[in-house]
Amino acid sequence: MIKPEPFKFLCPQCGYSKIVKPKSDVLNSVAMINICPQCKSKMELKKLNIIDKLFG
Ligand SMILES: [Zn+2]
């Protein structure tokens, strides 16, 4: 079984970021929760890089 890779939402407006570790089919609902809680902008979906994995 392939383990889903964690990923990150990043808000280009205020810099807010949130790391998401998907479980099973969470990806289907992720598209609906990509609104920044701070400024209500649409956040960008980023793949985690090695630095995020170290400090996340
Ligand atoms: Zn924001």
- 12 close to 40: Cβ distance less than 8 angstroms: no
pLDDT at position 48 = 80
- As a whole number of angstroms, the distance between CA 9 and CA 2 comes to 22
- Distance of CA 22 from the midpoint of ligand 1 (Å): 22
Q: Which amino acid does the sequence have at 1?
A: M
The pLDDT, as a whole number, for residue 4 is 73
Check residue 40 and give its pLDDT.
94
pLDDT, position 12: 95
- Asked whether the CA dihedral 12, 52, 38, 34 is positive or negative, the reply is positive
What region does 40 belong to: left with phi over 0, alpha with psi -120 to 50, or beta?
left
Measure 25 CA to ligand 1 centroid, in angstroms. Answer: 26
Ranges of residues in the chain whose predicted pLDDT is under 50: none
